[in-house]
Structures are given as C-alpha cells and as structure tokens.
Structure 1
C-alpha cells in the first residue's frame, strides 16, 4: 500500500501545531519532534511540517517564499458543503488568510486559505450523487 507525505517548510513548529490542531488535525508523535510535525490527514496521507532549518536538510537551493509565489496547491476533499465552510471558518479563526473566493462550479463547491506560512490549502466538496 502506498503512502503520500507532503513536505512543507514552516517558520514556527508550535504555531503550526496550534493552527492545524484548531482545524481538527492530529499528529503522529513517532515522526514528530521539536523541528518536525507529522500531521495525519488520513491513514496513508501525511503532511510533514518541517521547521525551515530542518527542511533545508532535504533540499538543494532555496526555500520558496510561499507568501509571494506558489509551487503547490494542496486540495483536501470534504464530505459536504458545510464541512468546507466550517474548516474555512476555523482556519480564519486560527490566523489563516483568504486566498480565493468560495467557488461553485457544477457539482463542485470549494474554498481556500493560506496557512500561517502562506501555503495554499483548498477544500473541495464534489457532489457525486
């Protein structure tokens, strides 16, 4: 069975822990320490939030400034339109900034925000019925 680990640089591990905990995420302590948080999205999907100095251990070149440029959009599915709205509201309460307006296109309803480090998170409900 495959797993996916999205790796993102963050400026402040504890601020990121508080932010994503407010959104309802939990962390795997086995793969977390004072420089790294392993955020559980689902059983086989994790986001590794790495303090910038730790992130540098894994890359060549510079860390992009996510507040200025975008290299990835992370989109998470939601079970309902109300879940999209609820998570967006929680993100704003926790300090996120808006990114694009809520959109509705056919069977899709979604919204987005930028986390504390400027990474874009999209939330999408797709009505399969």
Structure 2
C-alpha cells in the first residue's frame, strides 16, 4: 500500500475552508468530518485535514502561526500539464484565494509552476514538470 499524507491545517472558518478546497478540486469525506474538522481528499494518497483552531490546539502546545504574516511551510502538488496548473490557480482565485504570492516558476519546456494562498494564508504551489526532465533529475535543469 502506498504511503498516504494527511496535511493538518489550522483554519478560522470551517465552512469557508471546506468551500474553498472543494472549489479547487478537493472532495469532503463525511466519515472524517464534523463541526470541528473536515477531511478534504485531494487524491488517493493525499488528504487535507482542516482543523478549527480550538481542535488543532489539542494536538500541540505550540502557538498557531498566522500564515498571513509568517511562512511555516510551502505545500506543493503536481499537475499533469501547464494548462492544469493555470486551471487550478484560476479555481483558487475564483474561490477567494490569493494568487501568485510567490514567484512563478517558468523554466521553458522543463517546468512550470504557480502558487496560491487559501483564505487562512496557507501557501500551495502547483507544479508541472516535463516527464523526461523529471527522469534526469537536477542535471536537466543545470543544462537549461
């Protein structure tokens, strides 16, 4: 069985966050959702757990960072094409996300990426990479 990842994010408005992540292509899983948390499935192996601040605080003693003011993590997802990158960014924009908070990654025919922030300021990157460049690894980018 492939490993799965569950990205836990502290959020301030559960309904707003559910709507946002559904708008960018996620699916809410009712079996793991309630009035304090929601599981958003992005793929067979990637899910986002949206946790209200009071619930998130039950898992850590550390203060919750304000992702609008500080960077705690950059989350990156792959896309199947340049068009898919742009389509995801357009969906995020239409759903109220902040578009391109980081620089676009434009490396000719090798790689393309853009980013968005969700309503709570969590930074997501959507990246496409040419499959042959991915096979070559870092050396493909050194030659570019």
Compute the TM-score of the two structures, normalised by the length of structure 2: 0.85
Task: State the shift of 1:96 in Å.
Answer: 0.7
| SS state at 1:27 partner | strand
Query: Mapping of 1:1-129 within 5 angstroms?
Result: 1=1, 2-98=3-99, 99-106=101-108, 107-129=110-132
Of structures 1 and 2, the one scoring higher in RCO (CA 8 A, sep 6+) is: 1
Deviation track 1:36-77 (CA, whole Å, cap 9, x = no partner) reads: 111111112111110111101111120000001111111000
Compute the TM-score of the two structures, normalised by the length of structure 1: 0.95
Give runs of ≥4 in structure 1 deviating > 6 Å: none
CA RMSD, aligned part only? 1.1
**Structure 1: gaps spanning 5 or more residues:** none
**Structure 2: gaps spanning 5 or more residues:** 133-144
Corresponding pairs, count: 129
